[in-house]
Structure 1
Amino acid sequence: METLKRLPMINNSWPMLLNNLFNRDSFNEGNLNFFDQNNAVIPAVNIKETTESFAIELLAPGMTKADFKVEVDKNQLTISAQKQSQSETDLDNYHRKEFSFESLRRTFTLPENIVDVDKINAQYTEGILYLTIPKKEEALPKPAKLIEIS
């Protein structure tokens, strides 16, 4: 379990407390990095390894399958998504135009000579992107071999 840092309370410390609260570095304490250097959201993931494969679950609610781009370059797996939306309302001589832009990105280094990048499978269901990354046949564990003594 991780321990959170607490600031000592000093008389009239509200200005200092508010400065610390809205300081970007305060949000990154405890390894909580929610944005990359391009302000793209770094989504939460679950990674599981089995004897046959690696499984990644990436949380991305509100996206669609078409918003995602999954690519492998050398041993770097990059998952990114962008979504743009725009709506217009024209009511009683009042015109309003709203738009939003969402972006997420996550990169993983795949183990060299272990995974079969040609057989990666991706599926998006109910706000979660599921990736299955199979291991190469030669990387799978071999059963114990009994050697006869002559």
Structure 2
Amino acid sequence: MRTLVQYNQLPSFFDHLVSREFNRHFNAPAKTALPAVNIKEDETAYHLELAAPGLKKENFEISLNNSQLTISAKLEQASEEKTENFTRKEFSFNSFERSFRLPKNINSEQIQAAYTDGILKVDLPKVEKPVVEPKQIAVA
């Protein structure tokens, strides 16, 4: 006697379609959009430009830990309207976090950041490599 019952499963396409629509309408997590980042390199530094309009410089937190640069921002907004018959409160909370693994030739003491016109600019200066000149070593 068999203890396991075999059955035909629904085709994977159909199953995917049903679960996608179900999640979309009932329990889909909110999608967070990460800001776009441009990375440029020249002889002296790397330059990051992060598009984050609508924020203030106080909303950003930039940290460096073990050659990993982390840029995050939090924005909380709340409004309240009171009248005789009702009170309406609305609030929103948005946040993001981006991390970048930095190369070893970054001078971490001179990293600078500025936020202007919706663009966060982070300058990551490179460490100047010492010029190694050929040298003769005498044998004793």
TM-score, length-normalised on structure 1? 0.66
CA contact (8 A) 1:43 1:105 kept: no
| Structure 1 residue aligned with 2:116 | 125
| Structure 2 residue aligned with 1:42 | 34
Partners of 1:20 and 1:94 lie apart in 2 by 35
Equivalent runs, 1:97-108 vs 2, <5 Å: 97-108=89-100
Partners of 2:59 and 2:36 lie apart in 1 by 17
Kindly tell me: are residues 21 and 101 of structure 1, through their superposed partners in 2, closer, same or farther at Cα, counting changes over 3 Å? closer
| C-alpha deviation, 1:76, in angstroms | 0.2
Partners of 1:87 and 1:47 lie apart in 2 by 37
| C-alpha deviation, 1:21, in angstroms | 10
| C-alpha deviation, 1:92, in angstroms | 4.3
Identity, in percent, stands at: 40
| Structure 1 residue aligned with 2:8 | none
Q: Deviations over 1:65-123 (max 9, x none)?
A: 000000100100000000111110013412100111010110000001x0101101100
Larger Rg: 2
| Structure 1 residue aligned with 2:54 | 62
| Structure 1 residue aligned with 2:87 | 95
One-letter identity of the residue aligned with 2:114: Q
Question: What are structure 1's unaligned runs of at least 5 residues?
Answer: 1-12, 24-33, 36-40, 146-150
| Structure 2 residue aligned with 1:51 | 43
Deviating 4+ runs (over 2 angstroms): 16-23
**Which of 9, 18, 21 is equivalent to 1:19?**
21
